[in-house]
Amino acid sequence: MKNLLLLSIIVVLVTTGSALSANRSNQESESASQQKLAKQAKITKESAQETALKRAPGNVESSELEKEHGRLVYSFDIRNSAGSITEVQVSAITGKVVRVEHESKKQEEAEKKKEKKP
């Protein structure tokens, strides 16, 4: 009985340790990827955010630098006074708005669920 309990504890510890190690590795990989993208950007995130807020006034809820459709863009999720989200993408090379998309509540919930999945 003690051996079974000890074995169970060891399995839990090893599994937890592996999961934490994998998560740390993913975060380090993501950070390295962001640094690589940042080196390619010609404009700052602050400048891009200023441009995005001119296009869609509100509060920036999230932002990221990413490659999308072959373009290096800063993507901003901006919540307006009505409570809806507008995603504005600004070219990290030219500083111009390249895409604007208004998200419905349904789309916003779907995106949140997608982001929670590992």
Interval 56-69: pLDDT, tens: 999 999 999 999 98
pLDDT at residue 82, as a whole number: 87
What residues does each domain of the chain span? Answer: 1-40, 41-118
Architecture of the domain delimited by 41-118 = Roll (3.10)
pLDDT for res 110: 78
Report the predicted TM-score, pTM, of the whole model to 2 decimal places.
Answer: 0.67
Q: Residues in the chain with pLDDT < 70?
A: 1-8, 10-30, 117-118
Q: What percent of the chain has pLDDT over 70?
A: 73
Q: What is the reported pLDDT for 33?
A: 80
Q: Which of 58, 63, 61 is nearest to 89 (CA)?
A: 63
